[in-house]
Amino acid sequence: MFGFPVSTEFNKRIPKQKFYENIEVSLAVKRIFVEQIRIIYWRNKLAAATLNLAAGDAVTEIEVFEVKLNVPQLDEAVLRQIDKAIPYHILFVLTYEGKAQAWIGYKEVVSGGHTFKVNRYYHTEWVPENELQFTISGLNMDAVYESLVRQIAGERLQAPSHESLKESVGRDEERRRLEKQIAALENAMRKEKQLNRKMELNAELKRLKKELAEINAS
């Protein structure tokens, strides 16, 4: 399924209540689980043993969860809640009416290796379920994880071959920051009436666009 080897198949249903009962979760997140999610399946266990690869330093397993939806979207808070509850890296495949969309978080180990922090989620577009396929690439689990994140993120994490995933994510964060600032400045310029202030905003806008162009060209 999704292009992963048969040796990785697990296909176990997980009660969605597992992620919000008997743990501290807001009522809003509980409501999202109930209203937006129909069923959760643990489809694959990508690990050194199931892939016949070397173990990784940061990544031991990657779990593939299929989340069947009641609606054509899922609040990111739910993914964060599941990621928080599972001490492994997770690739989510959302499915709805024959379409599928992959999500994966850039998940880093913190607190001495016992907990994880998700800084940013990346996702594909919605495609027909049978067209969502992944490639296992790399000689160890760290490399497999990096490859999957880049496959899902697409052009946002395109990078020179020498750049690490952490560096690529950092560069993308800077790109997002600049894009947000540029959008805010462009909005301010449209509303500004004073010519002198408009010129100041335009100068700042040019500077930020130059920075963005340099990041995109690197």
Q: What is the pTM of this model?
A: 0.85
Domain regions of the chain by residue span:
6-158, 170-217
Res 60: pLDDT? 92
Res 114: pLDDT? 62
pLDDT range class, residue 112, cuts 50, 70, 90: low
User: Please, is 113 exposed, middle or buried when counting C-beta atoms within 10 Å of its C-beta (0-12, 13-18, 19+)?
Assistant: exposed
* Residue 49 predicted with pLDDT over 90: yes
* Residue 91 predicted with pLDDT over 90: yes
Q: How many CB atoms lie within 10 A of CB 144?
A: 24
| Beta-carbon contacts of residue 185 (< 8 Å; ≥ 6 apart) | 201, 204, 205, 208
205-216 mean pLDDT:
90
pLDDT range class, residue 111, cuts 50, 70, 90: low
Res 152: pLDDT? 96
The CA distance from 139 to 129, in Å, is 28
The CA distance from 107 to 40, in Å, is 21
Q: How many CA atoms lie within 13 Å of 171's alpha carbon, on the beta-carbon side?
A: 20
* Residue 82 predicted with pLDDT over 70: yes
pLDDT range class, residue 217, cuts 50, 70, 90: confident
